[in-house]
Amino acid sequence: MLLAACAQGGADAPTAGARPTIVSLNPCTDAILADVTAPGQLLAISHYSKDPRSSSMPAEQASRYRATGGTVEEVLALDPDVVVAGSFIAPATRAALEDLGMQVVTFGIASDVASSEEQIRRLASLAGDPRAGQRLIERIEAALTEAEAPDGRAVDVLLWQPGGIVAGEQSLVSDLLARTGFTNGAPARGLSQADYVALEDVVAAPPQVLLVAGGDLGQQHPVLDRLPDMRRERFDTSLLYCGGPTIIRAARRLAEIRSTAW
């Protein structure tokens, strides 16, 4: 096994030529690692990626991998060289895995496209194939270029997420909105990350486009379809939180919404 190393946020590349086996405990790193690892190298993904409500991977892709709940016992049984986790991994779990000789590398939440691409580079380097990471980044950049608004005009949008909350300005999805011809209307309405928005608030100040990613009763109310200057569109929850290859699908969906809205 590789020696335990890498404090949070400091992923070192493996020895040149090495292809370490990896277990991922985070749905966002699941999707990236599935794209940059060799067959058989990614031993397991997180159980979140098997659930369509929390996965950032297509179900068919997730079905190719074993899943783990992230317990020390489950990971130990798989005997990976490296465990990739989110930055909120329990300190006791991390210490136990490192004591057992596993390298634990943690990743935070990407706040924009640039930070997601940096995570791709780190994960691809960790997996021993930096070129695979570069290929994924090139696909992302091509999708973003293709999704740019042809007229350069920014459309006011409010992204209504599960639980009735909105996305803040410093979030990956807000960066994607800006790159695809939208303006996140939350800041102009005095709203920050995860602020709650009621149905009455939307009716009182409707955006040009309302992206609904939740299923609350208010988010499905028929009054929303009777607002003459607003268009309501669905936005899948699987596109909300993760970067990596998810950016490609999110950019295409946003471009589709913008092209059909006017």
pLDDT 10s digits, 115-128: 999 999 999 999 99
- Residue 148 is predicted with a pLDDT of 96
Which pTM was predicted? Answer: 0.89
Residue range 206-216: mean pLDDT, rounded: 94
- Residue 262 is predicted with a pLDDT of 59
Asked if residue 104 lies in contact with residue 96, where contact means CB atoms within 8 angstroms, the answer is no
Residues 6+ apart with CB under 8 A from 201: 189
Cα–Cα distance, 162 to 158 (Å, whole number): 13
- Residue 3 is predicted with a pLDDT of 31
pLDDT in tens, 139-159: 999 999 999 998 888 999 999
* Statement: residue 8 has pLDDT above 70: no
Asked if residue 48 lies in contact with residue 55, where contact means CB atoms within 8 angstroms, the answer is yes
Asked if residue 209 lies in contact with residue 177, where contact means CB atoms within 8 angstroms, the answer is no
Cα–Cα distance, 183 to 224 (Å, whole number): 20
- Per the model's pLDDT, the better-predicted residue between 170 and 72 turns out to be 72
- Residue 99 is predicted with a pLDDT of 97
pLDDT in tens, 38-56: 999 999 999 999 998 788 8
* Statement: residue 132 has pLDDT above 60: yes
- Residue 135 is predicted with a pLDDT of 98
The rounded mean pLDDT for the chain is: 91
* Statement: residue 14 has pLDDT above 80: no
* Statement: residue 16 has pLDDT above 80: no
